[in-house]
A and B are shown apart, each in its own frame.
Chain A
C-alpha cells in the first residue's frame, strides 16, 4: 500500500498544527461557532448528541496493522474502547473530547493517517472496491488512481468550499463493488475497442434524500486526462451548483436541472481549455503503480490439501469459507472477510481488543494489511488457503467470524438516534431486534444474498434506498416509524428501491421484515435470489402480507 513520502508527512503534520491553533482559538472564543464548524468539519469533527464524533479517513479502505494498533490505542486512550467503520470505508470515534482532538490527529499523523475532508462541503474520501488488486474479475487495479485522486483532492485550494459534499468512487472490476453509480463522480476502469484501459465517467449519482443513478458523461476517458477532467467537473459545479438550498446543492441536482447535455457541454468547454497543460504523465502513473505491487505470494499455495479436508470435517469452517471468503486471483489464496456484524454488536463497531488482535492476524496471515468494505466489514485480502482454518478459529474466538457476509444479518446501519444529532429514529436497536429474530443461521443461509440497509433519517448514511430491503427511520409526531423499500441495488444493475407502503411503527418493523422474508421463501423459484424475485414479481405480494391486518 501507499507509503507517505516527506511531502505527505509534512502536509498532515502541518494540518495538525493548523487545527490545534483553530481549536485553541475556538476554546478561547476568538472564532465564531460558524467559523469553527466549517474548520472542524474539514477535519472530520462533528458535534453529536453526546460528544463530538471524529471521522478518520480510511483511504479507499486501506489500512496497515500499525494503523490498526493506533486506532486501538486511540479507542482506549481517548474514547470508550471502540470505534465504528462506515460506508465510506472510514472509521469513527464517538466519544472524543474536543480539546483532545488535536492530540488524536497528531497520533494519527504519526502513522500516516488523517481526518482531512472526511466531512464538510468538500471533496471527501475516495472509495473503491474492497477486493481491488486481488479479485478475479479485475480490468485494472483502481488503487493507484485512488491515491492520485486522494492527493489531488486533499487541500485542493479551489474546491474546499463547494456547494455541498462531493464523493467519488473508483472501480476497476467487471462487477461494481464500489457503488460507482451512486456517487457525485463514479469512475469505472474499462477497456475500449482498441484494448486500451481508461475510465468511464459517471456524474450526478447519489443517495441521501434524493437518490439518483449517475449518468455517463464520458464513456471513455484516457488516463492521462483523469485529473483535468475531474477539475473541469469540479469547477463547473463550484460555480454553478446551487447554494440557496442545501437540499438542492448536490451536483445531482445541477445535472438534473440543467440536463446532462447542457452540463456536459459546460464541462467539455472547460476541459478543452485545461487538458493539454494538465496531463497525468505515464511516469506518474507508473510510479504510483509501484506503490501497489503485489505482495510476495508463495508459489504453489494451492498444493495444500488441509483446506479441503478441514472443510469436510468442520462444517462450521466450511460455512464460514462459503460465506466469508472470496476468490483470489492467485491460486491457493483467498480474501477473508472479518464480519463486524455479530448479533450482539452494533453493525460496524469494533473494540480496541479486536483492533489489536486483527492487527496481529493481518501481520501473521495477510502481509500486514487490512481493508474496510463499504458494507462495514473488514477484509484480510491475501490469506493462504492453508492458513484459513487457523484464521477462522482465531476470528471466532474474537466474535469476528459470524458467517453472514452478504446475508440478511450483514446489515448496513448508521449510528441512528443513539448517537447522531440528525437522526429521526433509532437504527442500532432495530438491527439488534432483526438479528435476534433471525438467530437461526441455517435460515439466514437459506435466504442467501440479501442486503438490508437501514438509516435513521432521510440523509441516508446507510444507503437504505439501494438496499435489497431498505429501512428508513422517520419521525411521526415524536414517535419512531420506519419506511420500507424493496428492490434497490448499488451494484451493476443499479436500482432505487420501491416504497412498499406506509411507514410501520417501531414495534412492527421486525415483524414486517420477517413477513417479507417469508414471502420470498414461499414464492422464490429454485435458487432465485431475493432481488431477482422482487424484480420478477414486484412489491405487491410483499405488500399484501406486510399490511395484511390493516
Chain B
C-alpha cells in the first residue's frame, strides 16, 4: 500500500495491529486504548510505535508519551467531524510533536490543504487510486489569511 508523506507518494512501512492481535515485526501502530494498556510491551517492541486516535480522543492524554511515539494516526470516520483539525493543531503546536501525523480513512481529498496547514503531513485515503488527486489538492491555495501550524 502507498501513502502520501511530505508531498511524496511513498510505500507505507507501518502496520496497524488490531487490539486483540499479536504484534508483528517492524513499525506498528495501535489504538489509543491498547497503547494505554500495553505501553511497556510496545516500548520494548523492536520497531517504531504509532498510536491511532479517534475523534473522541483527547490529545492531552497522550501528550506526555509523545517523545516515544513516531506516528499519530488521526482516523476519520466522518469527514464532517472537524475535531481532527484541532487534534493535529494541538499535537504540532501545543505539544511540539515532531513525528508523522497521518490522516487515515474517510477524509475528503478537498480537505487535505487544511489538514496540511494544521500539521498533518501524511495521508492514507481509503482508496489508493486517489493518491495523485489528493497530492494535487495539497496545492489548492497559494495564499492564506491566518496563522496556524503551516
Most B C-beta atoms less than 10 A away, residue of A7, A14, A155: A155
Residues of B close to A11: CB separation below 8 A:
141, 143-145
B32 contacts partner chain A, Cβ-Cβ < 8 Å:
no
Residues of B close to A161: CB separation below 8 A:
79-82, 85, 111
A18-B140, A38-B108 known; A235 vs B86 contact (CB < 8 Å): yes
A157-B117, A157-B118, A235-B86 known; A152 vs B146 contact (CB < 8 Å): yes
Contact with A along B55-84 (1 / 0, CB 8 A): 000000000000000000000000111110
Contact with B along A99-140 (1 / 0, CB 8 A): 000000000000000000000010000000000000000000
Interface residues on A, range: 20 to 34
A35-B108, A157-B117, A158-B89 known; A10 vs B82 contact (CB < 8 Å): no
In the assembled complex, how far is the CB of residue B91 from the closest CB belonging to chain A, in whole angstroms? 12
Check B79–A38 contact: CB distance below 8 A.
yes
Contact with B along A478-515 (1 / 0, CB 8 A): 00000000000000000000000000000000000000
Q: How far is the CA of A161 from the CA of B77 in the complex (A)?
A: 14
A407 contacts partner chain B, Cβ-Cβ < 8 Å:
no
Residues of B close to A14: CB separation below 8 A:
140-143
In the assembled complex, how far is the CB of residue A146 from the closest CB belonging to chain B, in whole angstroms? 14
Most B C-beta atoms less than 10 A away, residue of A15, A35, A235: A35
Residues of A close to B110: CB separation below 8 A:
18, 22, 35, 39
Closest to B108 in A: A35
Contact of B148 among A18, A22, A158 (CB under 8 A): A158
Q: How far is the CA of A152 from the CA of B94 in the complex (A)?
A: 20
In the assembled complex, how far is the CB of residue B141 from the closest CB belonging to chain A, in whole angstroms? 5
Residues of A close to B114: CB separation below 8 A:
155, 157-158, 160
Contact with B along A1-45 (1 / 0, CB 8 A): 000000100110011001000100000000100010011000000
Contact with B along A205-237 (1 / 0, CB 8 A): 000000000000000000000010000000100
Q: How far is the CA of A273 from the CA of B148 in the complex (A)?
A: 14
From residue 95 to 149 of chain B, which have CB atoms closer than 8 A to chain A? 108, 110-111, 113-115, 117-118, 140-148
Residues of A close to B82: CB separation below 8 A:
121, 158-163, 238
In the assembled complex, how far is the CB of residue A360 from the closest CB belonging to chain B, in whole angstroms? 33
Q: How far is the CA of A14 from the CA of B79 in the complex (A)?
A: 22
Closest to A11 in B: B143
Q: How far is the CA of A14 from the CA of B118 in the complex (A)?
A: 20
Contact of B145 among A38, A152, A158, A238 (CB under 8 A): A152
Most B C-beta atoms less than 10 A away, residue of A15, A121, A154, A159: A159
Closest to A10 in B: B143
Check A155–B81 contact: CB distance below 8 A.
no
Q: How far is the CA of A31 from the CA of B89 in the complex (A)?
A: 28
In the assembled complex, how far is the CB of residue A332 from the closest CB belonging to chain B, in whole angstroms? 39
In the assembled complex, how far is the CB of residue A60 from the closest CB belonging to chain B, in whole angstroms? 16
Residues of B close to A273: CB separation below 8 A:
94
In the assembled complex, how far is the CB of residue A13 from the closest CB belonging to chain B, in whole angstroms? 10
A38-B79, A238-B82 known; A7 vs B143 contact (CB < 8 Å): yes
Check A155–B86 contact: CB distance below 8 A.
no
Residues of A close to B146: CB separation below 8 A:
151-152, 156-157, 227
A394 contacts partner chain B, Cβ-Cβ < 8 Å:
no
Closest to A236 in B: B86
Check B80–A38 contact: CB distance below 8 A.
yes
Check A238–B83 contact: CB distance below 8 A.
yes
Residues of B close to A162: CB separation below 8 A:
82
Q: How many residues of B contact A (CB 8 A)?
A: 26
Check B145–A151 contact: CB distance below 8 A.
yes
Residues of A close to B115: CB separation below 8 A:
157
Most B C-beta atoms less than 10 A away, residue of A11, A15, A31, A158: A158
In the assembled complex, how far is the CB of residue B97 from the closest CB belonging to chain A, in whole angstroms? 16
Closest to A14 in B: B141
A97 contacts partner chain B, Cβ-Cβ < 8 Å:
no
Q: How far is the CA of A18 from the CA of B117 in the complex (A)?
A: 17
Contact with B along A37-60 (1 / 0, CB 8 A): 011000000000000000000000
Residues of B close to A154: CB separation below 8 A:
145
A243 contacts partner chain B, Cβ-Cβ < 8 Å:
yes
Check B86–A121 contact: CB distance below 8 A.
no
A278 contacts partner chain B, Cβ-Cβ < 8 Å:
yes
Residues of B close to A243: CB separation below 8 A:
81, 83
Contact with B along A268-296 (1 / 0, CB 8 A): 00000100001000000000000000000
A239 contacts partner chain B, Cβ-Cβ < 8 Å:
yes
Check B81–A157 contact: CB distance below 8 A.
no
Residues of A close to B85: CB separation below 8 A:
157-161, 238
Residues of B close to A163: CB separation below 8 A:
82
Q: How far is the CA of A273 from the CA of B85 in the complex (A)?
A: 18
Residues of A close to B81: CB separation below 8 A:
161, 243
Closest to A228 in B: B147
Q: How far is the CA of A121 from the CA of B83 in the complex (A)?
A: 13
Q: How far is the CA of A15 from the CA of B114 in the complex (A)?
A: 13
Check B86–A158 contact: CB distance below 8 A.
yes
Closest to B113 in A: A157
Closest to A42 in B: B110
Residues of A close to B140: CB separation below 8 A:
14, 18
Q: How far is the CA of A154 from the CA of B143 in the complex (A)?
A: 11
Q: How far is the CA of A227 from the CA of B148 in the complex (A)?
A: 12
In the assembled complex, how far is the CB of residue B49 from the closest CB belonging to chain A, in whole angstroms? 25
Closest to A278 in B: B147
Q: How far is the CA of A18 from the CA of B113 in the complex (A)?
A: 11
Closest to B144 in A: A155
Q: List 28 A-B contacts (CB under 8 A).
A: A7-B145, A10-B143, A11-B141, A14-B141, A14-B142, A15-B141, A18-B110, A18-B140, A18-B141, A35-B79, A151-B145, A156-B148, A157-B114, A157-B117, A157-B118, A157-B144, A157-B148, A158-B82, A158-B114, A159-B85, A160-B82, A161-B81, A161-B85, A163-B82, A227-B146, A235-B86, A238-B82, A273-B94
A positions within 8 Å CB-CB of B: 7, 10-11, 14-15, 18, 22, 31, 35, 38-39, 121, 151-152, 154-163, 227, 235, 238-239, 243, 273, 278
Q: A161-B80, A273-B94 are in contact. List 4 more A-B contacts (CB 8 A).
A: A11-B145, A156-B148, A158-B85, A163-B82
B positions within 8 Å CB-CB of A: 79-83, 85-86, 89, 94, 108, 110-111, 113-115, 117-118, 140-148
The 6 closest A-B pairs by CB, nearest first: A161-B82, A157-B117, A157-B114, A151-B145, A158-B85, A7-B143
